[in-house]
Amino acid sequence: MSCLPSPLPHDTTSCHALIEQLAADLSAAHRRNTELELSHQLHCDELNAELSRHKKLIAELEQTVENLAADNQLLKRSLFGSRRERYTEDDPAQLLLFDAASLQPEQAAEPETEPLSPPPQKRTSKGRQPRVFPEFLQRERQEHLLDDAEIPEEMRDNPQVRRFFKKVSEQIEVIPLQLKVVEHYQEVLALDRAHETTQIITATRPPTLIQSFAGVSLLSHLAVCRFADHLPYYRIEEILGRAGVFISRSTQLRWMRGLALGVAPLVELMWQRVLLSQIIAMDETPVKELSGVGAARTGYLWAGVGDAQHPYDCFFYSSDRRAINPQDLLQGYRGYLLTDAYVGYERLGQLQPEIISASCWAHSRRKFDECHLLGPTDKTRTVLGYIRQLFDLEDVFRPYSDEQRLAARLAQSQPIVESLQKWLEDEQLRQLPKSKLRGAINYMLNRWDSFTRFLESGAIPLDNNAAERAVKFPILGRKAWLFVGNHQAGETAATLFTLTKTCNRHRIEPFAYLQDVFARLPTMTPEELPALLPDRWILEHPEHLIDQRVQEALDRAQRKREQRAERRQARGAA
């Protein structure tokens, strides 16, 4: 702005000119001030926008740090923590947090004829029991004689002295792997005829699954080592080398491929029987597949487990996890499919209406258990308490028939399920969209119909543990053999895992079963194949049932039932 002249003008014209100049200066000052205000406002807006971006970034980073910390904690638990999934309250005296009074009196009360918790029997220590070895083991008598120095003078050559032996102990000895060569001779009849001709008749050798210098017992031994004992081929190569024979890994793999092709009709028959099941449990596990030099991709072993009337654990291999794989396997199946929440399984119900999806409660419990591990709250205790009640009831219902179990579920489990649904729906609205608890709640509510399938049939299990046990069988081996060489090797593994895992399910000695299958299968017609199904085969060969393992499993299951009954009784007393 211009400075005022000094002295000020006294004439009108000069005053008007001065006023106009001052007005112009004032207007220019206003414009500059407005521009500065606009510039300042724009700068403030930019700073506010930048501040908002930084706040959002900080929130995202905090969420990332929180998620990474949670993943780290869960990873530590998986590596070093307890494997037990059963939920117990932090305070043993604390009752379940859901309102039991909200149930109807007739629902909350325990039926007189079917008590919730049978009184547990107090276990008493049996002390150290003598080891009893199987009778079929070869026995060798070894006598320990007295030295002459140990015999008193008056007992030497005394006819009144009685001499006998007493059995004081038994020891197990091992005979290392022994190989033998079986020389095959074919009988030949020759008859010289006229015109210098000779008629020759040669005995026919029995057919074999594959043409090789390995006999049936060696092939069975290799299959058991690889697909039941989970030894990689290079270790089998070294073991056979110590016995005096070198059989390369490539040769073993070629033999196993031939065996897999030979037993394919039997495995296909087992799968067709599984497709007749009322419930099929399925799961899958990744396997690294070498697709070229220096390259690898992830293949998958799919496990399909039949019900008690069709007791076979079947495996299939694919080079990817596309949904088309289970669709092809279950083509034509009508019944319940018990799985996890993999989208490939969930689409089956839409593409094939005959397949009814049922979800695994153990998977949902794990999600809430993760939330509880990261920060125990009343909410996590509540939902885990609901789920634990359902599993406790299933433990009580275990000896029931399917019809009795369904009636018991409708009377006792359904009220708990309805209360849990209401709690989940109410809590879903209170949780932040990206919280882990909200994610676990969404996981259940989005699949609520499939989670409640067990209320439609007493044959549907509450969890998918049968399929998980099946896939754990090759997982044990995966830690040793690491990968499959190609797609064919994956198919070979799936076929032979089907036989060895089904033997494991029925507690059948796998070597005896495979040896009989490899020997008899080449001469059998399709109509005779059912005789080689493991559940039928063991009825004809009961001597190959691993009795000790069966009894151990029964005893272990009984101990677990007693422990659970004691826990239920303790919670009831609290």
Above 90 in pLDDT, residue 358? yes
What is the C-alpha separation between 526 and 266, in angstroms, rounded?
Answer: 9
Above 90 in pLDDT, residue 316? yes
| b/e 293-313 (16+ beta carbons within 10 angstroms → b) | eeeeeebbbbbbbbbeebbbb
Answer yes or no: pTM beyond 0.85.
no
Show which of 443, 463, 483 is a domain's final residue: 463
Q: Over the stretch 101-134, which tens digit does the pLDDT of each residue have?
A: 333 333 333 433 344 445 555 555 555 677 778 7
On whether residue 145 sits in a domain, the answer given is no
* pLDDT band with cut points at 50, 70 and 90 for residue 491: very high
Show which of 463, 486, 514 is a domain's final residue: 463
User: Phi-psi region for residue 192, left (φ > 0), alpha (ψ -120 to 50) or beta?
Assistant: beta
Would you state the pLDDT for residue 246?
Answer: 94
On whether residue 453 sits in a domain, the answer given is yes
Range of the domain at 225: 217-359+466-540
* Main-chain dihedrals φ then ψ at residue 41, nearest 5 degrees: -65, -40
Compare 556 and 159 and report the one with higher pLDDT.
159
- Least reliable range by pLDDT among 61-75, 352-366, 387-401: 61-75
Looking at the fold, whether 400 and 431 belong to one and the same domain comes out as: yes
Alpha helices for 398-435 (secondary structure H): 402-408, 414-430
Looking at the fold, whether 401 and 459 belong to one and the same domain comes out as: yes
Would you state the pLDDT for residue 116?
Answer: 46
Above 90 in pLDDT, residue 499? yes
* pLDDT band with cut points at 50, 70 and 90 for residue 255: very high
Looking at the fold, whether 224 and 353 belong to one and the same domain comes out as: yes
Compare 565 and 107 and report the one with higher pLDDT.
565
- Least reliable range by pLDDT among 7-21, 329-343, 462-476: 7-21
The pLDDT mean for the chain works out to 86
Looking at the fold, whether 249 and 387 belong to one and the same domain comes out as: no
Surface-to-core class of residue 377, CB atoms within 10 Å of its CB (0-12 exposed, 13-18 middle, 19+ buried): exposed
| 3 state DSSP class of 454 | helix
DSSP structure class, residue 294: T
Looking only at the bridges linking them, the beta strands covering 483-484 and 188-193 are unpaired
Above 60 in pLDDT, residue 532? yes
Looking at the fold, whether 530 and 474 belong to one and the same domain comes out as: yes
Percent of the chain clearing pLDDT 90 (strictly above): 52
- Residues 60-69 have a mean pLDDT of 80
Above 90 in pLDDT, residue 535? yes
Residues 6+ positions from 373 with CB-CB distance below 8 Å: 73, 74, 77
Looking at the fold, whether 237 and 323 belong to one and the same domain comes out as: yes
On whether residue 403 sits in a domain, the answer given is yes
On whether residue 120 sits in a domain, the answer given is no
Give Dmax over CA atoms of the chain in angstroms. 170
Above 90 in pLDDT, residue 75? no
What is the C-alpha separation between 290 and 428, in angstroms, rounded?
Answer: 45
DSSP letters, 200-252, are: EEEPPPPP-SS-SS--HHHHHHHHHHHHTS---HHHHHHHHHHTT----HHHH
Domain count, the chain: 2
* Main-chain dihedrals φ then ψ at residue 129, nearest 5 degrees: -95, 145
Looking at the fold, whether 342 and 236 belong to one and the same domain comes out as: yes
The CB-side HSE value for 406 (13 A sphere, CA atoms) comes to 10
Looking at the fold, whether 243 and 368 belong to one and the same domain comes out as: no
Would you state the pLDDT for residue 3?
Answer: 61
Looking at the fold, whether 353 and 224 belong to one and the same domain comes out as: yes
* Main-chain dihedrals φ then ψ at residue 336, nearest 5 degrees: -90, 140
User: Phi-psi region for residue 293, left (φ > 0), alpha (ψ -120 to 50) or beta?
Assistant: beta
186 touches 180 (CB < 8 A): no
Would you state the pLDDT for residue 286?
Answer: 95
Residues 6+ positions from 570 with CB-CB distance below 8 Å: 92
What is the C-alpha separation between 378 and 374, in angstroms, rounded?
Answer: 13
529 touches 522 (CB < 8 A): no
- Least reliable range by pLDDT among 70-84, 476-490, 541-555: 70-84
On whether residue 33 sits in a domain, the answer given is no
Show which of 416, 431, 463 is a domain's final residue: 463
* pLDDT band with cut points at 50, 70 and 90 for residue 354: very high
Looking at the fold, whether 520 and 385 belong to one and the same domain comes out as: no
The CB-side HSE value for 2 (13 A sphere, CA atoms) comes to 13
DSSP structure class, residue 412: I
Would you state the pLDDT for residue 107?
Answer: 39
Chain-centre distance for alpha carbon 191: 66
| 3 state DSSP class of 78 | helix
- Least reliable range by pLDDT among 95-99, 166-170, 528-532: 95-99
Looking at the fold, whether 430 and 366 belong to one and the same domain comes out as: yes
Above 80 in pLDDT, residue 431? yes
426 touches 382 (CB < 8 A): no
- Residues 466-486 have a mean pLDDT of 92
Q: Over the stretch 152-171, which tens digit does the pLDDT of each residue have?
A: 888 888 888 888 888 888 88
Would you state the pLDDT for residue 64?
Answer: 80
Residue 542: count other Cβ atoms within 10 Å of its Cβ.
8
On whether residue 476 sits in a domain, the answer given is yes
The pair of structure tokens assigned to 211 is 């043409």
Chain-centre distance for alpha carbon 43: 59
DSSP letters, 319-373, are: SS--THHHHHHTTT--EEEEE-S-HHHHTHHHH-TTEEEEE-HHHHHHHHHHHHH
Surface-to-core class of residue 212, CB atoms within 10 Å of its CB (0-12 exposed, 13-18 middle, 19+ buried): middle
* Main-chain dihedrals φ then ψ at residue 250, nearest 5 degrees: -65, -35
Would you state the pLDDT for residue 78?
Answer: 66
- Residues 546-565 have a mean pLDDT of 78
On whether residue 341 sits in a domain, the answer given is yes
* pLDDT band with cut points at 50, 70 and 90 for residue 258: very high
Above 80 in pLDDT, residue 49? yes
Output the CA angle 175-131-540, nearest 5 degrees. 70
Would you say the C-alpha torsion 317, 276, 472, 509 has a positive or negative sign? negative
Looking at the fold, whether 281 and 366 belong to one and the same domain comes out as: no
On whether residue 110 sits in a domain, the answer given is no
Looking only at the bridges linking them, the beta strands covering 279-292 and 295-305 are antiparallel
Identify which of 173, 153, 151 has the alpha carbon closest to the alpha carbon of residue 163: 151
- Residues 27-40 have a mean pLDDT of 88
DSSP letters, 155-166, are: GTT-TT------
* Main-chain dihedrals φ then ψ at residue 114, nearest 5 degrees: -130, 80
Above 80 in pLDDT, residue 98? no
- Three-class secondary structure assignment of 23-87: HHHHHHHHHHHHHHHHHHHHHHHHHHHHHHHHHHHHHHHHHHHHHHHHHHHHHHHHHHCCCCCCC
